[in-house]
Amino acid sequence: MTGSGASFENVSMRIGVISDTHGLLRPEAMAALAGVDHILHAGDVGDAEILDALRAIAPVTAIRGNIDRAGACAALPATELVELGGVSFYMLHDVKTLDLDPVAAGIAVVVSGHSHQPRVERRRGVLYLNPGSAGLRRFSLPVTVAMVTLGEGAPRAEIIALLR
């Protein structure tokens, strides 16, 4: 048991997390995600073909972001709760709009995007992950994705720089 009240199975999985592609799927992102068991896209997809390309690597769970207002991406849900390897992931594009208590809901990982700033932090036993932006570089922010590893104990996440 963790502080979040969630218990974890001992299922080994690697989950690729990407966000804010804004219509650009870099070859470096595809290479970084190669071999994962599942991919989470935290919104601002920009082009549904990106999700099709990611599905060639692994199953994909995606949500819409603030730019996904038209076309196929507009039909994506605003939030998603998905269980992978016995671990619950709650996805929303902007963490500032989080309107539930992940601890009370038994959620182990909150995945967001929007800010383009990669971040991994644990609060009250819940892992908060923003993979940063994998699309066009914005300001001086890095171009990144993230990897979540499930196995023994709580989920672990790391940020992977695609371009410096």
Work out the mean pLDDT of the chain and round it to a whole number. Answer: 93
Q: Is residue 157 part of a domain?
A: yes
Give the pLDDT confidence score for residue 3 in this predicted structure. Answer: 44
Closest CA to 92 of 71, 126, 66, 122: 66
| Terminal alpha carbon distance of the chain | 38
Q: Is residue 75 part of a domain?
A: yes
pLDDT tens, residue by residue, 85-124: 999 999 999 999 999 999 999 999 999 999 999 999 999 9
pTM of the model: 0.93
Mean pLDDT, range 70-84, rounded to an integer? 97
Q: Is residue 34 part of a domain?
A: yes
pLDDT tens, residue by residue, 56-66: 999 999 999 99
Is the pLDDT score of 136 beyond 80? Answer: yes
Helix (H) or strand (E) holding 39: strand 38-41
Q: Is residue 149 part of a domain?
A: yes
What CATH number does residue 23 fall under?
Answer: 3.60.21.10
120 forms beta bridges with 129
Q: Is residue 96 part of a domain?
A: yes
Determine the structural domain holding residue 94 and report its residue range: 13-163
Is the pLDDT score of 48 beyond 50? Answer: yes
Give the pLDDT confidence score for residue 7 in this predicted structure. Answer: 54
Q: How many domains does the chain have?
A: 1
